[in-house]
Amino acid sequence: MKNKCKRLIYINEYVSINGIEQFLFHLGTSYDNPVMLYLHGGPGSAESLLTGAFQEKWEEIYTVVHWDQRGAGKTLTQNPNKLPTIDLMLQDLYEVVQYLKKKYSKQKIVLLGHSWGSILGSLFIKKYPEDIAYYIGAAQVIDIVENEKVGYNKVKELIEQADDKRSLKKLEGIGEYPGNKIDFGKEFLKKCNVVRKLQGKYKIGLELRFSIWIAMLKSPIFNFLDIISFIKIPKANENVLKFLVNFDLCNESLEYRVPIYYVLGGCDWQAPYIIAQNYFEQINAPYKKIYIIPNAGHFLMLDQPGLFFDTLSEINKIEEKALT
């Protein structure tokens, strides 16, 4: 667990959260900086192993804390039978936030949610706005069923434009997708896997590139047990997937009590940016601003790390100015 970059703040630890030991990874350059809690995607896809691939410059303006959620990463390894539900995860998140506020002597922290993390984060800030300075939704998810419909239609359009008969045959081979209801059973997940691979091929969804695997293996906190944890993700997160079946953020109030920033990939059709953009126009918040990063897909901080950091830097300056 060497601190090769000689950061002032470099902590990897297990903390007792909601009755189990949960993993946190802290990185930063100044105790004066705001504390940002990064909520990873999935559910179950811990991103703490990828900090070296996109995060180093973030640490100039934030103390960034990655939390391997219940049912993910090193927390799953430590607690293979303590599996998540949405209620447990919201309570877990509340306790993590309280822990960080106390540890760093902060009245509030910044919350960044990526993909699935943007669902968890959005629900949390509605319930506990007093704990959050502002919220950043990256690849923000709004409506699960609509996501799949729009993303499917987009990749089909691109395949037809390219006259890619082989890919079109694969797509047509899955039949109707996603249907009016998603059940996250084996049959749907098999179809979803075909769609995701084709979205990755056409650069409009998350593609597990070789460089991502290399970044994970090079992480100073990597352990071979992390691979086993990764394999267990679908089974471990069954209850959360059931919650997601009909998730639609539009069913919640459009009123927010914290500043809201959306950072979306202009080539993201896995969580289609146009859905989040339309929703964003409807919400009310003390302050809100949206950024769409060109040539960035679902993992936009990996696709365009420089532009993503520039966006974070601007958000940080806006919030600093608001405090003066």
Kindly indicate the confidence band of residue 6, based on its pLDDT and cuts at 50, 70 and 90.
confident
Percent over 70 (pLDDT), the chain? 98
Residues 224-274 have pLDDT tens digits of 899 899 899 989 999 999 999 889 999 999 999 999 999 999 999 999 999
Delimit the domains of the chain by residue range: 9-143+208-323, 146-201
**pTM here?**
0.94
DSSP string for residues in 254-320: SB-SS-EEEEEETT-TTTTHHHHHHHHHH-B-SSEEEEEETT--SSHHHHSHHHHHHHHHHHHHHHH
Amino acid at 284: N
Q: Give the mean pLDDT of the chain.
A: 94
**CATH number of the domain at 9-143+208-323, please?**
3.40.50.1820
Residues 118-166 have pLDDT tens digits of 999 999 999 999 999 999 999 999 999 999 999 999 999 999 999 999 9
Torsion of CA 221, 222, 227, 232, to 10 degrees: 0
> Do 299 and 139 contact (CB within 8 A), yes or no?
yes
322 vs 150: CA distance, rounded Å: 37
Backbone angles phi, psi at 245, to 5 degrees: -45, -50
Specify the pLDDT at position 5: 63
Q: Give the residue from 216, 196, 194, 214 showing the smallest Cα distance to 206.
A: 196
* Triad 89, 264, 185: Cα angle to 5°: 50
> Do 227 and 255 contact (CB within 8 A), yes or no?
no
